[in-house]
Structure formats: structure tokens, C-alpha cells
Amino acid sequence: MQSIELDVIDRKILAELQRNGRATNVELAERVHLSPAQCYRRQKRLEETGLVRKYVAELDAGKLGFTVTAFVSVTIANGPYKQPQRFQHAIAGIPEIQECHTVTGEADYLLKVVAPDLKAFSGFLMERLTKLFDITNTTSMVSLEELKQTSALPIAEK
């Protein structure tokens, strides 16, 4: 993966966008000490290079009725490298799966899953996930309490 050269101002813009992706161009320009036109050009360049992938609203899962968060390790027969696109395609359409990572160790994948309650989570595991592939093992860890959650990257000013 190619590294993109960032100066101090670019890093400030990225840090501010992580704090508030809805900031207007004028607000952003004031925070990073640029003219609005310069700030707009830099922000567009950061978007065009793919550093800023999208802008989203962060929702409160608990207030929306998703009270269970679980991390599920998945091992599939023949390993993940035989048909990784097939597995990726299968999980892409499952909204309960918030994240999926190919991992080292005994499992092939690690999933972050949300559900309304334990019964719904159990149903998800038994009725949906295990029927996707020839899954040989799953191990679930239910989160008891979220102590930290962020999507912000630690962007240091150099």
C-alpha cells in the first residue's frame, strides 16, 4: 500500500474531520488556520486520495435496541484462503456483522456482531452464520461492558 505524504495542516484537517465530520468548510478552515478556499482544496484532495473514505453518523446501538455485542471467532473447513471472496460476499449482506477480520491464530476470521438480545444472538449463530459455509468451529465472547469505542485514528502532528 502506497503511503501518502501529509503535512501538519493535512494532519490537522484529518484530526478535525474525525472529531466532527459535519463541520462546515468555514468552521474547519478556522480550526486549522487556513482560508476556506485552501481548506476546501486540501479536504477534497484528502477525499480523492482515499484517506477520507466516507462521512457517517455514529448511532447508539443500545438506544436502538441492540443490547448484545459479541466477538465471534470462526474457523471454516479448508481455511479462509480457498474461497475468501465467497466468504466476504456472504457476510457482506448480513447487517448484524459490524466488522470482519481475517486473523492469525487458531481461527480464520473474527467477527463483531450486534443483536437485540441473547436469544436473537443465538438464533443468528445457529440459523444464519453456521449455515453460510462448512464452519468447523465458532467461539463467542459476549461483551459485558463497552469501555472504549472509537473509529478515530491517532493522527500525530509531525
Phi, psi (degrees; rounded to nearest 5) at 95: -65, -25
Asked whether the domain spanning 62-142 has the same topology as the one spanning 8-48, the reply is no
**Rounded mean pLDDT, 102-121:** 95
CA distance 155 to 63: 30
- pLDDT bin (cut points 50, 70, 90) of residue 97 is very high
Euclidean distance between CA atoms 117 and 111, whole angstroms: 17
Q: What is the CATH number of domain 8-48?
A: 1.10.10.10
State how beta strands 97-102 and 68-76 pair: unpaired
Q: What is the mean pLDDT of residues 123-140?
A: 89
Pairwise CA distance, residues 56 & 59, whole Å: 9
pLDDT score at 82: 61
Q: Which amino acid is at 118?
A: L
Q: What is the pLDDT of residue 1?
A: 58
Cα separation, 36 vs 25, whole angstroms? 6
Lowest mean pLDDT among 4-8, 34-38, 50-54, 86-90: 86-90
Q: What is the DSSP letter of 106?
A: S
Q: Give the integer Cα–Cα distance in Å for 43 and 66.
A: 34
User: What is the pLDDT, as a whole number, of residue 157?
Assistant: 65
Domain layout of the chain by residue ranges: 8-48, 62-142
Whether 48 shows a pLDDT value over 90: the answer reads yes
Q: What is the pTM of this model?
A: 0.85
Mean pLDDT of 60-85: 86
CB contact at 8 A, 66 and 34: no
pLDDT (mean) for 40-63: 95
Question: Taking Cα atoms as reference points, which of 102, 117, 137 lies closest to residue 69?
Answer: 117
Query: In this model, does residue 80 exceed pLDDT 60?
Result: no
- Going by CATH, does the domain composed of 62-142 fall within 3.30.70.920? yes
- What pLDDT score does 61 carry? 95
Arithmetic mean of pLDDT, 8-26: 96
83 pLDDT band (50/70/90 cuts)?
low
Q: Is 17's pLDDT higher than 90?
A: yes
